[in-house]
Amino acid sequence: MIYLDTSVILAQLLAEDVRPPASLWRETLVSSRLLEYEVMVRVHARSLGESHGEAARLLLSRVAFLELAPPVLERALAPFPAPVRTLDALHLSSLLFLRSRRQSTMLASYDRRMIDAARALSIPVWSAPPEA
């Protein structure tokens, strides 16, 4: 199972230089419900609702969402091995919650701070396989 960070969805949606391979979208994908809000807020902040709104909803429909339940929120209040931003703490706490439930989950992210924090927590990081 692959936990998607917002940077991956936005890279795909906004056709950035670094984009996930098509094979990623065939994997079992999961994220915090927070992902939906982050993606749509950024789409609307860039005034791309009309041009990218449907594509955003389509990508988000491929993701199973974990709600921000009390154990996830509680973990986000605890210290991390290195300083993290608030939303990253919520994502990492969601990922740790899944792993505490014996879900083999790795992080997919293009955000260097998120990747470093995940590694410090012994969370495996997904790396894109080479495209054929």
- CATH fold group of domain 2-120: Rossmann fold (3.40.50)
Distance of CA 1 to the CA centre of its chain: 12
Report which DSSP code applies to 18. Answer: S
pLDDT at 132 over 50: no
Higher pLDDT, 132 or 53: 53
Higher pLDDT, 69 or 51: 69
Any idea where the domains of the chain sit in the sequence? 2-120
Q: Is-above-0.85 flag for pTM?
A: yes
Alpha helix (H) residue ranges in 18-107: 34-45, 49-60, 70-77, 86-100
What residue has token string 């991390």? Answer: 80
pLDDT digits (tens, 9 = 90+) for 85-129: 999 999 999 999 999 999 999 999 999 999 999 999 999 999 866
pLDDT for 16:
72
